Chains A and B, each alone.
Chain A
Amino acid sequence: MAFTLPPLDFTTVSLTGSTMEAVVRELFDPLRNSSLVLDSKQAWVDLVARQAAGSVALDETVAVPHARTGAVKRLVIAGGRHVNGVPFDEKHQSVRLVFLILTPKERAAEYLRVLAALASRLRDPATRSRLLTAGTSDEFARLLEDRAAA
Chain B
Amino acid sequence: MNGLDRLHSAPPVAALTKGVVRLLRIRVWLAEHISPSEWQITLFWAGLVGFLGGLSAIAFREGLDGLHWLLTGSPGGMVESFGHMPNWRRLVTPAAGGLLAGVVLLLGRRITKGGSTTDYMEAIALGDGRVPFRTSIVKSTAALCAIASGGSIGREGPMVQLSSVLASLTGRWRRLPVPSLRLLVGCGAAAGIASAYNAPIGGAFFVAEIVLGSIAMESLGPLVVAAVIATLTVRVLYHATTLYHVPSFELNSVWEIGPYILLGLIAGSAAPLFMHTLRLAEKGFRSLRLPLVLQLVLGGLIVGALAIWYPEVCGNGYSVTLAILQGDVAWKTLLLLMTCKAFATAASFGSGAPGGVFTPTLFMGASVGYLFGFGVHQVWPTGAADPQAFALVGMGAFLAAASQAPVMAIILLFEMTLSYDIILPLMLASTFAYFAGRSQMGESLYAEFMRRKAEHEPELRMPTISLGQLLRPNPPTVAPEATFQEVCNAFISSRINNLYVTGPDRRFIGVVSLHDIKPFLGQPDIATGVLATDILREEFPFITPDTGMPEALAAFTKHEIERLPVVSDAESRRLLGSISKNDLLVALTEARHQAKTKAAAKTAEADKQANAA
Contact = CB atoms under 8 A, between A and B. Distances in A.
Interface in A50-71: 50, 53-61, 63-64, 66, 68
A30 B481 CA distance: 29
B529 A132 contact: no
Interface stretch (B232-240, B427-435, B520-528, B604-612): B520-528
29 contacts: A50-B533, A50-B534, A53-B531, A54-B481, A55-B528, A58-B528, A59-B7, A60-B6, A61-B4, A61-B6, A61-B7, A68-B533, A68-B534, A108-B512, A108-B537, A109-B519, A111-B534, A111-B535, A112-B516, A112-B520, A112-B526, A112-B530, A112-B535, A115-B520, A115-B530, A116-B519, A120-B523, A123-B525, A128-B4
B70 interface: no
Given A59-B14, A111-B534, A128-B7, A116 B523 contact: yes
Contacts of A112: 516-517, 519-520, 526, 530, 534-535
Given A108-B516, A123-B525, 13 more contacts: A58-B525, A58-B528, A58-B529, A60-B3, A61-B3, A63-B529, A68-B533, A91-B11, A109-B517, A109-B535, A112-B519, A112-B534, A125-B4
Given A96-B3, A105-B538, A132-B3, A119 B526 contact: yes
Nearest to B480: A53
Interface of B: 3-4, 6-7, 10-11, 13-14, 480-481, 483, 512-513, 516-517, 519-520, 522-523, 525-526, 528-531, 533-539
Given A58-B528, A125-B4, A128-B4, A53 B481 contact: yes
Given A68-B534, A106-B539, A108-B513, A59 B519 contact: no
A35 interface: no
B526 A116 contact: yes
B534 A116 contact: no
Nearest to A96: B3
Contacts of B3: 60-61, 85, 94, 96, 132
A94 B5 CA distance: 13
Contacts of A64: 529
Nearest to A63: B529
Interface in A27-75: 50, 53-61, 63-64, 66, 68
B528 A116 contact: no
Contacts of B522: 1
A59 B528 contact: yes
Contacts of B512: 108
Contacts of B10: 59
A119 B537 contact: no
Q: Which of B4, B7, B481 has the most CB of A within 10 A?
A: B7
B390 to A, nearest CB: 70
A64 B525 CA distance: 13
Nearest to A66: B534
Contacts of A55: 528-529
Contacts of A123: 525
B519 A1 contact: yes
Nearest to A132: B3
B16 to A, nearest CB: 13
B353 to A, nearest CB: 65
A56 B526 contact: no
Contacts of A57: 528-529
Contacts of A68: 533-534, 536
A103 B516 CA distance: 15
B537 A116 contact: no
Interface in A69-121: 85, 91, 94, 96, 105-106, 108-109, 111-113, 115-116, 119-120
A4 B523 CA distance: 14
The 5 closest A-B pairs by CB, nearest first: A109-B516, A58-B529, A60-B6, A108-B537, A61-B3
Contacts of B526: 58, 112, 115-116, 119
Q: Which of B14, B520, B534 has the most CB of A within 10 A?
A: B534
Nearest to B510: A108
Contacts of A1: 519, 522
